[in-house]
Amino acid sequence: MTKPNDPIIDATLASVEFNRNSMAAKLNWLRAGVLGANDGIMSTSGLVLGVAASPGVTSGTILIAGVAAVVAGSISMAGGEYTSVSAQRDSEKAALQVERDELATNPEGELRELAWFYEQKGISPKLAIKVAEELTAKNALKAHAEAELGIDSDHHVSPLQAALSSFVAFAVGGLLPLLAVAGPWTELRIQATVGAVVAALILTGYVGAKIGGAKSSRGILRNLIVSLMTMGITYAIGHLVGTNIAG
C-alpha cells in the first residue's frame, strides 16, 4: 500500500496540476488571440474588398470604411469576449459554492463520490479511496472541482485579459488588409489585399495549430477556405450593387 504523503505521488500530482494549469492558460490565450486575429483579417478584408469592388470608389472611401470596420470590430470582439468569459467565471464560482456546501454537510458522501470518479478512470477501489483521502486532506474543494467539474478552483479565467487579447488581436489582424487595400498600388489593390490576407491566414493557421499541438495543414486550410469565400462573396456583392447604383 502506498504510504501517506508518498513523495512519488506528491511529485506526480504536482506535475499533472502544473501541466493542466499551463495548458489551460495557453489554450485560453490561443483561443482569444487566434480567433481575434482571424476575425480581424477576414472581416476587414471582406468589407474593404466589397467597397473596393464598387466602380469609381476612391482610396479615401475605402480607407474610411476599413478604419470603421477595424474599430467597430475590435470593440465588438472585446465586448463579446468579456461577456462570455464573465459568464463562464460566474458559472464556475456558483458550481464551486455548491461543492463547498456539499463538503460541509456530507463529507463522507463526498469522499466516496471522489473515489468513485477515480475508479471510473481505471484505478482500483482500494487505491481510489486512498487517493481520494490524500487529496481531500490536502484540499478537498480543489480535488472535487477538478474531478467533477473539470475546473481549477484556484485559477479563474480573467474576462479583462481575454477582452484585451481579443481587442488587440482583431485590430492587428484588421490592419493588414486595410493597409494592403489602401496602399499606393491603386491598380493592384485587389490582388495585393488577397495576397496579404492569404499570407496572414497561413501564418495564423500554422502558429495556432503548432501551439495547440494540432496538424498545421488543417488549420491553414480552414482559414483559407473561409477567407476566400468571404472575400469572393463580398467582392461580388460590392461589384453588383456598385454597378447597379452607378448605372
Instruction: Return the DSSP state at 145.
Output: I
**Residue at 202 is within a domain:** yes
Q: What is the pLDDT of residues 180-202, one digit of tens each?
A: 888 778 788 888 888 888 888 88
Look at residue 32 in the predicted model and tell me its pLDDT.
Answer: 66
Exposure string (b/e) for 231-243, b if CB count within 10 Å is 16 or more?
beebbeebbeebe
Indicate whether 23 belongs to any domain: no
Domain count, the chain: 1
- How many helices (H) and strands (E) the chain has is answered by 7, 0
Residue 187's pLDDT is 81
Q: Is residue 25 part of a domain?
A: no
Phi, psi of 55, rounded to the nearest 5 degrees: -60, 135
Q: Name residues of the chain where pLDDT drops below 70.
A: 1-32, 153-154, 211-212, 242-247
Range of the domain at 145: 7-15+31-242
The pLDDT value given to residue 75: 94
CA distance to 4, 77, 111, 140, per residue, from 16 (Å): 18, 33, 21, 17
Residue 48: its H or E element = helix 7-52
Task: Tell me the pLDDT tens digit for each residue of 67-85.
Answer: 999 999 999 989 988 998 8
What is the biggest distance separating any 2 CA atoms in the chain, rounded to whole angstroms? 87
Q: How far apart are CA 37 and CA 47, in angstroms?
A: 15
Tell me the C-alpha distance between 202 and 224, whole Å: 7
Total count of residues recorded for the chain: 247
pLDDT at 8: 43
> What is the pLDDT, as a whole number, of residue 9?
47
Could you give the CA distance from residue 234 to residue 244 in angstroms, rounded to a whole number?
A: 15
| The predicted structure's pLDDT at residue 7 | 46
